[in-house]
């Protein structure tokens, strides 16, 4: 057993360290960044990594390392806001559907079916396309699809938990439906919701980066990892570092969140997504 547990815990610890580093880098960006992310130096455009600029410079001579550091702010903000709003909305709607049942449940599930009929981030692309590119609209677009996963999870869990003896006992003692859901059922759902939130944060970060890559997300000069990869794509031959480092930052962050999610699955005894 020991040999199995150790690698999982090690991976989860690594994931937690990566997440904490992301938070620290985002919060301390002005201190950590060697330069301002917007300072241009056109005479030094597309310079490769050097001592003065560890990740090199982009087409406007801006320091890529500083932009990657500031880009962490956008990723973290999107991850936290999308997961927070989606989880709260999903808990509310999923809890209501699961507990009330009947027509309300049917209505909610059909709405979720329709939203989930749009694959991947297609709906987010559509919403961002019509609302216009901005950080606020990225958040709106990602929340519009994000809550469905939580609602489905919570509804299923509520359906299972409401049949348990302690819930029947609470109802028999005169607890109101609101109290039953808030005080007795929702605390049971924290573990699966926490796991879903960890994977959801990875999804939100990739979603924002994808929208920004397509030009539908955060607008220049605000640094976003996705937009930076898109900018660097044109200079792959002469200056691959411009696209390489922001892409690496996304990949490392997502690996960390996936490791953490898997670790939490085992730790909290939540059924893994791949079993």
Q: Does 1 bind other proteins (CB under 8 A)?
A: no
Site mask for other proteins (CB under 8 A), range 91-130, x = bound: -------------------xx-xxx-xxxxxxx-xxx-xx
138, 226 Cβ separation under 8 angstroms: no
Which residue among 209, 218, 260, 264 contacts other proteins (CB under 8 A)? 209
Which residue has 């990594």 as its token pair?
Answer: 49
Which residue among 202, 204, 218, 265 contacts other proteins (CB under 8 A)? 202
- Which residues contact residue 193 at a Cβ distance below 8 angstroms, ignoring those fewer than 6 apart? 87, 91, 150, 153, 154
Q: What distance in Å separates the CA atoms of residue 200 and residue 149, rounded to the nearest whole number?
A: 9
Q: What distance in Å separates the CA atoms of residue 231 and residue 220, rounded to the nearest whole number?
A: 10
Q: Does 258 bind other proteins (CB under 8 A)?
A: yes
Which residue, 179 or 233, is less far from other proteins as judged by CB?
A: 233
Q: Which of residues 36-75 bind other proteins (CB under 8 A)?
A: none
Q: What distance in Å separates the CA atoms of residue 122 and residue 138, rounded to the nearest whole number?
A: 13
The runs of H, that is alpha helices, within 117-240 are 122-131, 135-161, 165-172, 177-179, 186-213, 225-233
Grouping H, G, I as helix, E, B as strand and the rest as coil, residue 57 is strand
49, 241 Cβ separation under 8 angstroms: yes
Q: How far apart are the first and last CA of the chain?
A: 19
Which residue, 54 or 111, is less far from other proteins as judged by CB?
A: 111
Minimum gap (Å) between residue 15 Cβ and other proteins = 10
Which residue among 38, 80, 171, 214 contacts other proteins (CB under 8 A)? 214
Which residue, 36 or 251, is less far from other proteins as judged by CB?
A: 251
Minimum gap (Å) between residue 220 Cβ and other proteins = 16
List residues near other proteins by CB under 8 A. Answer: 3-4, 7, 110-111, 113-115, 117-123, 125-127, 129-132, 202, 206, 209-210, 213-216, 226, 229-230, 232-233, 236-237, 240, 243-244, 247, 250-251, 254-255, 258-259, 272, 274-275
């Amino acid at each position: 057993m020991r040999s199995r547990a150790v690698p999982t815990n090690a991976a989860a610890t690594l994931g937690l360290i990566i997440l904490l580093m992301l938070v620290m880098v985002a919060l301390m960006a002005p201190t950590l960044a060697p330069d301002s992310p917007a300072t241009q130096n056109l005479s030094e455009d597309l310079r490769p990594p050097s001592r003065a600029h560890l990740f090199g410079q982009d087409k406007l001579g801006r320091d890529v390392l500083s932009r990657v550091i500031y880009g962490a702010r956008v990723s973290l903000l999107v991850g936290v806001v999308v997961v927070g709003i989606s989880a709260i909305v999903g808990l509310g709607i999923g809890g209501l559907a699961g507990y009330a049942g009947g027509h309300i449940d049917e209505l909610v599930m059909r709405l979720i079916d329709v939203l989930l009929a749009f694959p991947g981030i297609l709906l987010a692309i559509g919403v961002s396309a019509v609302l216009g590119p901005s950080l606020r609209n990225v958040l709106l677009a990602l929340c519009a699809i994000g809550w469905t996963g939580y609602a489905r999870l919570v509804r299923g869990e509520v359906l299972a938990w409401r049949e348990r003896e302690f819930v029947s006992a609470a109802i028999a003692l005169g607890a109101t439906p609101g109290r039953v859901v808030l005080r007795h059922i929702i605390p049971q759902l924290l573990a699966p919701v926490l796991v879903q939130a960890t994977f959801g944060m990875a999804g939100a970060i990739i979603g924002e980066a994808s929208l920004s890559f397509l030009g539908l997300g955060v607008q220049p000069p605000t640094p976003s990892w996705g937009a930076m990869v898109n900018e660097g794509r044109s200079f792959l031959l002469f200056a691959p570092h411009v696209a390489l480092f922001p892409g690496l930052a996304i990949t490392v962050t997502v690996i960390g969140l996936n490791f953490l999610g898997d670790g939490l699955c085992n730790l909290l005894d939540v059924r893994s997504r791949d079993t």
